[in-house]
Each structure stands twice: as C-alpha cells, then as structure tokens.
C-alpha cells in the first residue's frame, strides 16, 4: 500500500513537494535546537564562503560543506522522529539508529572543518 502523500504528476507534484519541503524546514527550525544552531552557523558561513572563495570551485566547496551539515542534520532528525514514533522505550536498536545519525552529523561537521581549512590555507 502506498502513502496517500504520494501521487500527482507534473507541476502539481512539484508544487506539493515544494510545500512539503518548506514544511519540513519549518518543523526542523521550530523543534530541533541543533538545526537552529547550524542554521545560524550557515547564516554566517555561507556569505563568508562566497566572499572568501577565490574561484567558483572554492566557493562551491565552502558553501557546499555548510549545506551538507544542514542536510545531514535533517536526515538525523528524521531518523530520530521515526524511531521515537515507533517507541519511546529504550532499545539497543533505537540507540544504534540515533547514535549512527549523530555520528553522521559529526562527520559532516568534520568535513566542513577540513574543507574550510584546506581551501583557506590554500
């Protein structure tokens, strides 16, 4: 059985997907403290990356590494929400899922740091 949220074609599907994406960003900003912190970081680093990058590739690396953190945080938050929807009871698999999501966020932050260091150190 397929979700009732799936379906539509063409322009309507694109409009629906956009609406759902904006709703997801709003939910993350409203309910996820880590996402809000990373948004503030992005508000500083994205313009800074555009300014400090000497070439289009450098600007893409600097900005892309910041956006990667936001993407991974959204996916981590989605995993946590799905796990919590299933059960709030402590379980080794739930812990593993949440720890793996957290590790992914940490690695995206390390990637951001390495990219910025390498690009700016030239």
CATH of the domain at 34: 1.10.287.3610
Paired tokens of 98: 């949440």
Q: Residue 5 has what pLDDT?
A: 58
For 99, the domain range is 10-121
Instruction: Tell me whether residue 60 is in a domain.
Output: yes
Q: Residue 40 has what pLDDT?
A: 98
Paired tokens of 45: 């680093």
Instruction: Tell me whether residue 77 is in a domain.
Output: yes
Q: 0.85 cut: is pTM over it?
A: yes
* For residues 76-85, average pLDDT: 97
Rounded to the nearest integer, the mean pLDDT of the chain is 95
Residue 73: active-site member: yes
- In total, how many domains does the chain have? 1
Instruction: Tell me whether residue 51 is in a domain.
Output: yes
Q: CA 87, 89, 95, 98 torsion: positive or negative? A: positive
Q: Which of 73, 80, 89, 90 is catalytic?
A: 73
* For residues 98-117, average pLDDT: 98
Q: Residue 2 has what pLDDT?
A: 63
Q: How much of the chain, in percent, has pLDDT values that exceed 70? A: 94
Instruction: Tell me whether residue 83 is in a domain.
Output: yes
């Amino acid at each position: 059985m397929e979700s009732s949220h799936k379906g539509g074609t063409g322009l309507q599907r694109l409009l629906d997907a956009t609406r759902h994406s904006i709703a997801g960003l709003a939910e993350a900003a409203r309910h996820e403290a880590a996402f809000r912190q990373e948004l503030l970081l992005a508000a500083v680093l994205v313009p800074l990356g555009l300014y400090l990058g000497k070439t289009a590739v450098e600007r893409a690396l600097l900005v892309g590494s910041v956006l990667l953190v936001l993407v991974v945080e959204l996916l981590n938050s989605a995993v946590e929400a799905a796990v919590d929807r299933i059960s709030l009871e402590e379980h080794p698999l739930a812990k593993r899922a949440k720890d793996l999501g957290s590790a992914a966020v940490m690695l995206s932050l390390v990637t951001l740091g390495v990219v910025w260091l390498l690009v700016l150190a030239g």
